[in-house]
Amino acid sequence: MQAIKEQEHQASLEASISAWIDAEADIRPEDLDTPYGRRVWDTYHMIGDVLRSEELAIKPSDFLYARISRAIDEEPPIVAPRPLSMRPYARAGLSGLAVAAAVAAVAWIALPYFTASDGGVAETPVLATAEPEGIYDYVAAHRDITGVGPVRQVSFEPGDAR
Amino acid sequence: MSGVLSGAADWPPARFACRRTGRLEVAAFLLALAAFVGSAPVLAAKASETSSPEMALLQKMQQAARSLDYAGVYTYQEGSLVLSTRIVHVVDGTGERERIALLDGRPREYIRHNETTQCLLPDHKVVLVERRDPDRFPAILFDDGARLPAHYDLQISESPERVAGRECRDLTLTPLDAQRYGYRLCADQDTGLLLRAQTLGPAGVLTQIVFNTLDVGKGVQSETLRPTWNTKDWKVVEVPVHEVDLASEGWRIPLPAGYQPLTQVARQMKAERQVKQLVASDGLSTISVFIEAYGDPGVQQREFGLVRKGAMSVYRKRIGDHWLTVLGEVPADTVRDLAHRTEYVPLAVP
Amino acid sequence: MNQRDVDAALVARVQRGDKRAFDLLVLKYQRKIMRLLSRMIREPAEIEDVTQEAFIKAYRALPQFRGESAFYTWLYRIAINTARNWQAANSRRPVTSSIVEMGDGETFDEIDNLTDISTPESMLASRQIADTVTAAMQSLPEDLRTAILLREIEGMSYEDIAQSMGCPIGTVRSRIFRAREAIASQLKSVLGDDHDTDRRW
């Protein structure tokens, strides 16, 4: 009887992990906090990876996961991030370049320009600049037609849907 | 010579006309052949003329993107920005079918059948219908590419590369002037499909699109074309777009050497914001010119000056009673010069 | 709930001090990161070292992760940076590298797709895993196979799969689970012993 009960518990553990991987159920974290639970998690993810790409049929050496896990154990504990609203804003000025770059993936930079054509002068970036208001409407309208795959955007607001 | 958009120019250019009737040509092509070969017959016709190995490779890339079945995930990279997209492309008796799903950021999908694309926006429960020529990657050309050798030096690399587990070869296009960027395109040895495309600036790579995983041919299942969401109760919206003739309105827009107009339309950008847009291309790179009247509702009343981010340069200025915004995946000087040389000479009403 | 929510839930736990939750993220993404790094690092022996370093860097940077991007996107960037620094520190220049210094201080690394260099042993193991999964899929009953394909390849939710297959959501859940179990039991022999004393397979 005990063996059968254990088997049932096992089956329901794997079934729970399966559902949680798909974001279709909540799981008690302690269910996954065992070597076996982690093994199931790992195998199920590997199956999904390999189905999507044979290149992901990688078997890391047995020690890799253990090494990483031990290394994490030796790290100091994490301090949770402050809420977004409390983050100090980018400082202005030339030193703000590095900070501005950290805030946006790639920053808009302002370039000098002259009224007369100056034939081939190399661009001299001046400063990271705040994103010009409304610029993405044009970028989106351009990419609408020319398309750049994932960056293709649609400038769309709920008000447009009449 | 540069294509000056004026009343005297041949408009619409022959290539543009061909593209619009592409679908009819597909049907004719299919009827003519017993076995289905593929779409994009305009390119097939052009490729039979004498062409260098480089141009032949470009045509092959274009053909492959339109006529093969493939599925995979590619990433777009610009600086430290990385965006992933899943694509499925299948050709059947009715033409091309495609599904593109953004894997980062807010979810969004594009479901395409030939020239009709539905953009699914689950956050708004809206289907946006667009009838335009389809997405570029891995189709790369905006026309037959015939003008490219005049403005780029084309070189096929000696040694093979490896992308997404497949052997491929680089075709590098080095610009012959400073008005455009360079490109490096890696084509699959086997099928010719474009596996990686890089935009090259003076100091190196500006942007890159590359397949991380890819299946070509067998194994691409048609059920993977189905959208993620059930859109039964969603609102269907079609953004009104109609063609215009800017030259006849008095606009003189001197395009850089090799650029020809692809399309000019009046369209909406945001709620109640009308704009006229000209899109021009040299075959690979594109420039858009936006024209708004000063008094248009909702129009932005600020100059941008000249700004650049990644491969995109933008310049906005006022010309008389109009706002002119020029942008493109070109060096900043190019958009600036274009804007400065643009003139508005409305024809006198008799 | 979707994939990002699963990662976000794990990240939230890690940010509250649960280190084991980070282990789960490591298991989930180690293959993808190894494959990414194998394109930038020639020596197979070093790939795992750099993989480890990338994950540790990610762990340390987690307080700054606020979920503006998907966790994997963020991890991916960290892995690329780690590999780049590793190459520089070890004077290993990839064949066609160009580190671009942009005027605004950003650097953009040209992502090299080098020849995949694997040891014969690891290639064999990969082949076995791939073949086992393929064979197991082929011998699955069709409803199980369809269910797991719609989930893993299409990323469809259980609800959408249920609609698509015309069955209750509970059946979908069960089919996907049984498909995974069937494939996993075939993989037992290939994956071998990994030092888990609690091995139940």
Q: Which chains touch A (3 or more CB pairs under 8 A)?
A: B, C
| Residue to substitute from B80, B274, B312, interface A, most A β-carbons within 10 A | B312
User: What per-residue confidence (pLDDT) applies to B49?
Assistant: 52
- For residue range A39-76, what is the model confidence (pLDDT) as tens digits? 899 999 999 998 887 778 888 876 788 899 999 988 87
Chain C CB contacts of B82 below 8 Å? 73, 76-77
pLDDT at position B311, please? 87
Establish if B175 belongs to a structural domain.
Answer: yes
Residue C184, CB-side half-sphere exposure with 13 Å CA sphere = 21
The verdict on a CB contact (< 8 Å) between A47 and C52 is no
- Do residues B323 and B185 both lie within one domain? no
CA dist A145 and B130 (Å) reads 10
Same domain, B222 and B137: yes
Query: Domain boundary at B201, B235, B269, which?
Result: B235
B219 and B245 both lie in a single domain: no
B82: contact with C, CB 8 A cutoff: yes
pLDDT tens per residue across span C19-54: 888 999 999 999 988 887 876 777 777 889 999 999
pLDDT of residue B60: 92
Asked if A142 and B104 come within 8 Å (Cβ–Cβ), the reply is no
Backbone angles phi, psi at B166, to 5 degrees: -125, 150
Rounded CA separation C13/C2 (Å): 17
Closest Cα in chain C to B205: C110
Are B77 and B212 within one domain? yes
Q: Is the pLDDT of residue C72 over 90?
A: no
Is residue B135 located within the same domain as residue B254? no
- For residue C69, give the nearest of B104, B198, B223 by CB distance: B104
Measure the N-to-C terminal CA separation of chain A; round to a whole number of Å.
Answer: 65
Do B268 and B218 lie in one domain? The reply is no
Q: The tokens of C28 are what?
A: 């989930």
Record: fold of C3-109? Rna Polymerase Sigma Factor; Chain: A (1.10.1740)
Q: A109–C103: do the CB atoms touch at under 8 Å?
A: yes
Q: Cite the residue boundaries of each domain of chain C with CATH code 1.10.10.10.
A: 120-191
Rounded to 5 degrees, what are φ and ψ at C11?
-60, -45
Q: What is the pLDDT of residue C44?
A: 77
pLDDT at B8: 31
Among residues B175, B208, B235, the one where a domain terminates is: B235
Between chain A and chain B, the number of residue pairs with CB atoms below 8 A apart is 162
> Is residue B231 domain-shared with residue B296, that is, in the same domain?
no
Could you tell me if B73 and B213 lie in one domain?
yes
In this complex, do B136 and A148 lie within 8 Å of one another by their Cβ atoms?
yes
Q: Measured between beta carbons, which residues in chain A are less than 8 angstroms from residue B325? A: 138
* Closest-CA residue to C31 (of C114, C104, C97, C130): C130
Classify strands B166-175 and B182-188 as parallel, antiparallel or unpaired: antiparallel
pLDDT over 90 percentage in chain B: 29
Contact between C100 and B223 using a beta-carbon 8 Å cutoff? no
Q: Mean pLDDT, chain B, as a whole number?
A: 79
Q: Which pLDDT does position B271 carry in this prediction?
A: 54
More confident: C114 or C26:
C26
Same domain as B161, residue B264: no
Structural domain includes residue B335 = yes
* DSSP letters spanning A86-100: GSPPPPPSTTHHHHH
Contact (CB, 8 A) for B170 and B156 = yes
Between B107 and C148, name the one with better pLDDT. Answer: C148
- Return the SS3 of B83: strand
pLDDT band of residue C109 (cuts 50, 70, 90) is very low
Which of chain B's residues have a Cβ under 8 Å away from the Cβ of C69? Answer: 104-105
Look up the CATH number of the domain holding residue B262.
3.30.200.100
Q: For C114-119, what is the mean pLDDT?
A: 41
B213 and B283 fall within a common domain: no
Q: Check A53 against B209: CB less than 8 A apart.
A: no
Boundaries of domain holding B279: 240-344
What's the pLDDT band for B171 if we cut at 50, 70, 90?
A: very high
Q: What is the mean pLDDT of residues C119-132?
A: 77
Give the residue range(s) of CATH 1.10.1740.10 domains in chain C: 3-109
Burial environment of residue A50 by CB neighbours within 10 A (0 to 12, 13 to 18, 19 or more) = buried
Please answer yes or no on whether A142 and B279 come within 8 Å at the CB atom: yes
- Under CATH, which number does the domain C120-191 receive? 1.10.10.10
Taking contacts as CB-CB distances below 8 angstroms, the residues of chain A near B307 are 108-111, 129, 132, 135
Q: What's the CATH code of the domain at B170?
A: 2.50.20.10
Three-class SS state of B195: strand
CA of B96 vs chain A CAs: smallest distance (Å): 17
Answer yes or no: pTM beyond 0.90. no
Alpha-helical (H) ranges within chain A are 2-21, 29-32, 35-52, 62-73, 96-103, 135-146
Q: What is the pLDDT of residue B129?
A: 85
**Residue segments in chain A with a per-residue pLDDT below the cut of 50:** 82-105, 114-125, 149-151, 153-162
CB contact, 8 Å: B80 with chain C? yes
Q: Which of B235, B256, B283 is the last residue of a domain?
A: B235
Q: Is residue B209 located within the same domain as residue B60? A: yes
CA atoms of A38 and A34, how far apart (whole Å): 6
Q: Clarify whether residues B198 and B58 are in a common domain.
A: yes
Rounded to a whole number, what is the distance in angstroms from the first to the last CA of chain C?
30
Mean pLDDT of B341-346: 90
Contacts of B78 in chain A (CB under 8 A): 105-106, 151
What are the C-alpha distances in Å from C129 to residues A21, B69, C91, C148, C196?
A: 21, 26, 34, 18, 19
DSSP per-residue string spanning B88-147: EEEEETTEEEEEEEE-SSS-EEEEEETTEEEEEETTTTEEEEEES----TT---SS--TT
Q: Which residues of B touch C101 (CB under 8 A)?
A: 203
Selection from B184, B176, B105, B108 nearest residue B147 by Cα: B176
Question: How many Cβ atoms sit within 10 Å of the Cβ of residue B324?
Answer: 21
User: Does A80 sit within 8 Å of C15, measured CB to CB?
Assistant: yes
Q: Report CA-CA distances (Å) from B246 to A150, B349, C169.
A: 31, 16, 56
- Which whole-number Å values give the CA distances from B132 to A40, A140, B100, B141, B311, in the listed order? 47, 15, 15, 15, 23
Residue B144 one-letter amino acid:
D
Interface touch A137/B269, C-beta < 8 Å: yes
Q: Inform me whether the pLDDT recorded for B209 exceeds 80.
A: yes
Domain assignment present for B17: no
Amino acid identity of B126?
V
Q: Do B224 and C153 touch (CB under 8 A)?
A: yes
Q: Which residues pair with B97 in a beta bridge?
A: B90, B113
Which residues of chain A does B209 touch, with a Cβ-Cβ cutoff of 8 Å? 148-150
Residue type, B293: A
Exposed (0-12), middle (13-18) or buried (19+): which is C121, by Cβ within 10 Å? exposed
Task: Kindly list the partner chains of chain C, i.e. chains with 3 or more CB atom pairs below 8 Å.
Answer: A, B
In a domain, B97, yes or no: yes
Whether residue B159 is contained in a domain is answered as yes
The answer to whether C134 touches C159, Cβ cutoff 8 Å, is no
ipTM of the complex in this document: 0.80
What are the residues facing B34 on neighbouring strands? none
- Chain A residues with CB inside 8 Å of B290's CB? 138, 141
Measured between beta carbons, which residues in chain B are less than 8 angstroms from residue C108? 77-80, 204-206
Interface test with B, best of A131, A144, A153 (most B CBs within 10 A): A144
Number of domains in chain B: 2
